[in-house]
Amino acid sequence: MVCVMSLFLETAKVLVIGLAVALLANQLSPKGLMLGRDYFKESTRPLARKSPSEPSSSHRVAELSNEQVWSLFQDPGYREGRIVFVDARKESFFLEGHIPDAYPLDRFYPEKDLPAVLVAGLPAERVVVYCAGGMCEDSHYAALQLIEAGLEPSRVQVYAGGITDWRSHSWPIERGVRGSGLIGHFPP
């Protein structure tokens, strides 16, 4: 009985001190999460749909096919800044390779990149957000962050296939930071 009691007492100490240490570590870590932030927040603004028959969802932004995205990439407006691409993956993935001239926006740490994306995105006619593709939903949540920050919902769209689809077509990839000039057709 005494043995069981001492076990529970020790476990309680581990839990209480451990949780306090964990909270402190999260606060001190540069990668720590903001405890008051809802990272799966749904949109408070009406979102654009591809068609009226499309089912409504408060966190899914209108999607573009790969043909539409390729067409936007080749549009002169892309070079002129009227069309903006935003990469919603982690910084390390962005540096490994992204759509040329895309802006990085890690949705878990938007403070770093959001100002630059807004400067480019607010006057743009189209903003295309992508992530890895497939089951990845970061592009939708990053698009919502942009919409909540003031971008017109009808001008923000998601490239559903993401970088996986882009690479599968052997379309150009830029390595390193945005504007590094290291552009090529790198294999996945």
Partner 1 sequence: MIFAVFPVFPSAGRRVTGWAARCVLGVCFVYLGLNKALNPGDFLKAVHEYGIVKQSLHLTWIAAVLPWFEVFCGVLLLMGIWVRGTAFSVLGMLLFFSALVLHRALRLHEASGIPFWEIRFDCGCGNGPVLVGRKLVENTVWAAVSLALVLSRKR
Q: Using CB under 8 A as the criterion, which residues of the chain lie in contact with partner 1 when the complex forms?
A: 3, 6-7, 9-15, 17-19, 21-23, 25-26, 29, 31-41, 90, 106-109, 138
For residue 53, give both structure tokens.
Answer: 């028959």
How does DSSP classify residue 91? H
Q: To which H or E segment does residue 83 belong?
A: strand 83-87
Question: At a CB cut-off of 8 Å and minimum separation 6, what does 55 contact?
Answer: none
> For residues 106 and 114, what is the distance between their CA atoms, to the nearest angstrom?
9
CB 66 within 8 A of CB 167: no
Residue with tokens 């927040």: 41
Residue with smaller CB distance to partner 1, 6 or 154: 6
**Residues contacting 149, CB < 8 A, separation 6+:** 114, 118
Least distance from partner 1 to the Cβ atom of residue 135, Å: 9
Tell me how far, at minimum, the Cβ of 184 lies from partner 1, in Å: 27
Distance CA 69, CA 38 (A): 30
Output 78 or 141, the one with its CB closest to partner 1: 141
In terms of CB distance, is 25 or 182 closer to partner 1?
A: 25
DSSP-derived pairing of the beta strands 182-184 and 173-175: antiparallel
- Closest CB to partner 1 among 42 and 80? 42
Provide the minimum distance between the beta carbon of 33 and partner 1 in the complex, in angstroms, as a whole number: 4
Nearer to partner 1, 27 or 154 (CB): 27
